[in-house]
Amino acid sequence: MGEGLARTVMHRHRFSRQWGLGDRKSPTSLTPSLVLMGDDVALPVPYAPFSTTSTSTLPATLEMKARGAFVAPDFIEIGPSYSVGVGHVLPPSLEDANAGEMQGTSSLLPVSWQRMNHDESLIDPSLTPDIVVLTDAVQLAGQGQKLSQALLALKQRFPGALLWAPGIGGPDNVALLTLMGVDLFDMARSREACANEALLTQQGPRFPLDHETFVMEAQAYHWMKALDEVRAAMVHGTLSTLAERQSLSSPKSVEHLRHHRNLVSKQHDALSSHVKADKLFACFSEAALHDPLVEQWEHFMTSSYQTPVPVREVMILLPCSARKPYRLSKTHSRFIRAIQSTGCHEVMMTSPLGLVPRDLEDVWPASNYDVPVTGDWNLDELARVERMLKSLVERTGYKRIINHTNMDLDFLEIEVVNTRLGRGSTNHDALQDLTAAVKDAVQTYELRNQKNSHRLLEHFKSIARKTMKNDDWCENIVVRGKLPRWRLESDGQQIAVWSIDRNGFSFSRASIDLLAQHNALPKIHLVEDTVWKGDVFAQMVQSYDPMIRCGDDLLVYQNGVVIGLARAEAPGWEWAGTPGTLAKSHQRKKMP
């Protein structure tokens, strides 16, 4: 079995991970990467950190060796190496039958669909393999959503392990499979292409041109270029876009992407709560309408979103803008001047998110999406807006909607005042009608303008309801300061500032007890005798909230007492044993 594999997470994107192998400060190799077999081309270790052989005798044995020095603490000798019995199991279609030869258990863990359904030893918490091999990946890839289900289950059960799905990877789907959670690949499909005198490229298999060759050296070249593209996408946060583009190389890949997205949409902790201000959610195709981010946004808006109390009488439905947040655009500056009131609820109609309230335009993903602006809406987009509007109107109880879009709102059982009438949104007459409609609503329903500090507080409370567990901690908060650094204070103490770098709150030390009192954040409990100085690692954690998302602020407890705040680097499903940093220290109380 050898010594343990030194590895650490370098980058994360939903269920995909870029692992650094070896010294975490200077990794020898990164994933995604290749496992070399038999007569494969001897690629450099940074691209192919492992090699493998298997015996044809019974019982079959799988051996795997590191090609670099990946054993801590010295990183001098080549290693580790692994050996495990592969066994013989029935195909996935016979999942109900518990028969066949049992697969072995070691730091190299072979798992089949049948084993996942019948072997209770897999749920033993002491089982922490370095590498998990989905031995029947080829068969699962042809059976609907079973491949997606298997990869997701293995990723969540063994978050600290590298995942290899033999026989299904190629330069044409490595981005997609990486998005689905696969870390290690092999050149089995490239060898098959070579045998058929074809070349397997990032766009799929094709026959070579006159100046090209189909030999394995050429196949390996396309593999290395594909790995470079995926690694770069992991660093820059564009893996979903690359996987979506790559999935178009085959109908089966499109199926896998759709199945994967459906599963991820149901996982609360799969998506980040905060991202850096420069990260974009790219919505360049109709497929983005079904991205898990969009699905979860709609679910939140139709089931949990609460309209701020002071603006529940009248909604103003506005078109979005290319610039985010919308209020900074020239178009919305004209809307705001025309409206001349803060007593109405401004809601933007946008693709692909459907509806974005003004009070949430600063949070992810509403603050960071990029979509082509054509003015055309397809039926799926209009259906999403209709579902969200029906829910929002029913739950809020608006008395009137001022519609400054060209969407027909006859499906709503509420008074609607249309101000566009087929004209452009910034047309002079249309803006005049918008002004008149707002003035009439203000008089009819006796709407009052909000002081700017009160309006901002309502916005921050709405953001707290979206990104935190509740807004109860805001009860005695006042907002002071100037744009862009708004301060949230309580009894003269600064509790938080609004951070434009992360589109979220940056809490002060003074907030710790207040947030704990109102149970406003997910909790983690540290081991009793551990000394917390900086980052939070798995071995320090006694228990944690399984619903933690990347970017969440966390309440840190020890011995039953809250001692500080941290920010999650890893989602809850990873906290069961992923090597490396799980959270970073943010604030710590001064202890007596």
pLDDT by position in tens, the chain (length 592): 346 899 999 999 999 999 999 998 899 999 999 999 988 899 999 999 999 987 666 678 889 999 999 998 888 889 899 999 887 666 666 655 555 556 777 899 999 998 888 888 898 888 999 999 999 999 999 888 999 999 999 999 999 999 999 999 999 999 999 999 999 999 999 999 999 999 999 998 999 988 888 899 999 999 999 999 999 999 998 999 999 999 988 899 999 999 999 999 988 888 889 888 788 888 887 788 889 999 999 999 999 999 999 999 999 999 999 899 999 999 999 999 999 999 999 999 998 999 999 999 999 999 988 887 767 788 888 999 999 999 999 999 999 999 999 999 999 999 999 999 999 999 999 999 999 999 999 999 999 999 999 999 999 999 999 999 999 999 999 999 988 789 999 999 999 999 988 889 999 999 999 999 999 999 999 999 888 988 999 999 999 999 999 999 999 999 999 999 999 999 999 998 898 899 999 999 876 6
Residue type for position 87: G
In the three-class reduction of DSSP (H, G, I as helix; E, B as strand; rest coil), residue 450 is classed as: coil
pLDDT attached to residue 2 = 40
Q: Could you tell me the fold of the domain covering 281-444?
A: Rossmann fold (3.40.50)
Look up residue 263 and give its amino acid.
L
pLDDT of residue 1: 35
H-helix or E-strand spanning residue 317: strand 314-319
Give the integer Cα–Cα distance in Å for 183 and 32.
5
CATH class as words, domain 452-588: alpha beta
In this structure, what DSSP letter does residue 470 have?
Answer: -
pLDDT at 98: 57
Q: What is the pLDDT of residues 25-44, one digit of tens each?
A: 899 999 999 999 988 899 99
Give ranges for CATH 3.10.400.20 in the chain: 452-588
Q: State which H helix or E strand residue 485 sits in.
A: strand 485-490
Question: Where, residue-wise, is CATH 3.40.50.10630 in the chain?
Answer: 281-444
State the Cα–Cα distance between residues 558 and 251, nearest whole angstrom.
51
Task: Quote the CA–CA distance of 260 and 169 in Å, as a whole number.
Answer: 16
Distances (CA, A) of 435 to 310, 326, 365, 408: 20, 19, 30, 20
Residue pair 185/33 in contact (Cβ under 8 Å)? The answer is yes
For the purposes of burial, counting CB atoms within 10 Å of the CB of 234, is it exposed (0-12), middle (13-18) or buried (19 or more)? buried
Which DSSP string do the residues of 200-265 spell out, in sequence order? Answer: EETTEEEPPPTT---SHHHHHHHHHHHHHHHHHHHHHT-HHHHHHHHHTT-HHHHHHHHHHHHHHH
CA distances from 1 to 5, 81, 415 (A): 11, 6, 72
User: DSSP label at 69?
Assistant: B
